[in-house]
Structure 1
Amino acid sequence: MFVKLLLGFILIPFIELYLLIKIGQFVGAFNTIFIVILTGIAGAYLARLEGIRTLFKVRESLNSGKLPAEEMLDAMLIFVAGAVLLTPGFITDLAGILILIPRTRYWFKRWLRKKFDQWISQNRINITTV
């Protein structure tokens, strides 16, 4: 796991930098910077909307006496998407926006649930109830 994270933190910035340079050569430096800023602003706006929407879903679940498990996964993924969108670049912006869109976030939630189930079955995560 540590090696994968390390590779990600090393490779992704190099790939992002390469793409920024290549796209800058193709459409110009100003346009490239404008696109990166525009996707960041759009992503931040979408993150805010989805965060507020998820907050209302959490309240609705709690008011009806249900555990807001799905909503908490949504909130966690929206937080991750917001953090990814803070990183300038096209790949990270695309990943962040894909996580923010509810239809595509479903696939990320499904993958995350499978990971949690694996970790629980391997006793890598212990869940206790009070």
Structure 2
Amino acid sequence: MFALFIIYVIVEVAALVAVGSAIGVLWTVLLLMAGSAVGLVLVRVQGKRVMEGLRAASRGERAPGVAVADGVLFAIGSVAMFVPGLVTSVLGILLLLPVTRWAVRPLVLLAAARWMPTVAATTSRMRPTVIDGEVVPESAGTPDGHRIIELDAQDFEKPTR
């Protein structure tokens, strides 16, 4: 994790030095401020659009995979906008634009498809086993007070969900 942070700092400093030497320090600062302003507007506008897509998916009007992929890309772009730096601002703005999300969405869906069997296998072990049954009152049973439990082969099959 520390190595990723060091790489992030090196990339951001290199980008700032390169842009600053190409267009000047004042223009670089103005570029950073403009990027933040554009990012804030995009977060607000696209946030509403992504939330509406998630609502439409919950109503069955849109494919849930597409809506969730857009939500993931929007979340990554929003977080990138709040991380200081020129490279992360550009990455954030790109992920907040609908055209870029449309282009990157198949990669997210592919990654999710590869990752989901692992998640499904892990979470299926975490689910409790449910045994269908019914509550029998204490008074039920044979005349000598013993309880009768009736079972058949179907009771031993794995329950379906």
**TM-score, structure 1 normalization:** 0.78
Higher mean Cα deviation, 78-87 or 18-27? 18-27
Structure 1 runs (4+) greater than 6 angstroms displaced: none
How far is 1:7 from its partner?
A: 4.6
Whose helix fraction is larger, Structure 1's or Structure 2's? 1
Number of the residue aligned with 1:103? 99
Number of aligned pairs? 124
Number of the residue aligned with 2:33? 37
- The answer on whether the counterparts of 2:19 and 2:28 sit within 8 Å (CA) in structure 1 is yes
How far apart in 1 are the matches of 2:16 and 2:90?
14
How far is 1:105 from its partner?
A: 0.8
How far is 1:65 from its partner?
A: 6.4
How far is 1:106 from its partner?
A: 2.1
Deviations 1:93-114 (A, max 9, x none): 2211111111211232211111
Identify unmatched segments of 5+ residues in structure 2: 128-160
Larger Rg: 2
- The answer on whether the counterparts of 2:80 and 2:89 sit within 8 Å (CA) in structure 1 is yes
Number of the residue aligned with 1:19? 15
Secondary structure class of the residue paired with 1:40: helix
Higher mean Cα deviation, 85-94 or 44-53? 85-94
How far is 1:21 from its partner?
A: 1.9
How far apart in 1 are the matches of 2:75 and 2:34?
19
Secondary structure class of the residue paired with 1:88: coil
How far is 1:52 from its partner?
A: 0.2
How far apart in 1 are the matches of 2:102 and 2:3?
26
Number of the residue aligned with 2:73? 77
How far is 1:45 from its partner?
A: 0.8
Seen in structure 2, the aligned counterparts of structure 1 residues 8 and 105 have a Cα distance that, compared at 3 Å, is farther
Number of the residue aligned with 2:156? none
How far is 1:12 from its partner?
A: 2.4
Q: Which amino acid aligns with 1:16?
A: E
Deviations 1:20-43 (A, max 9, x none): 123223322222111011111101
**TM-score, structure 2 normalization:** 0.65
How far apart in 2 are the matches of 1:83 and 1:64?
28
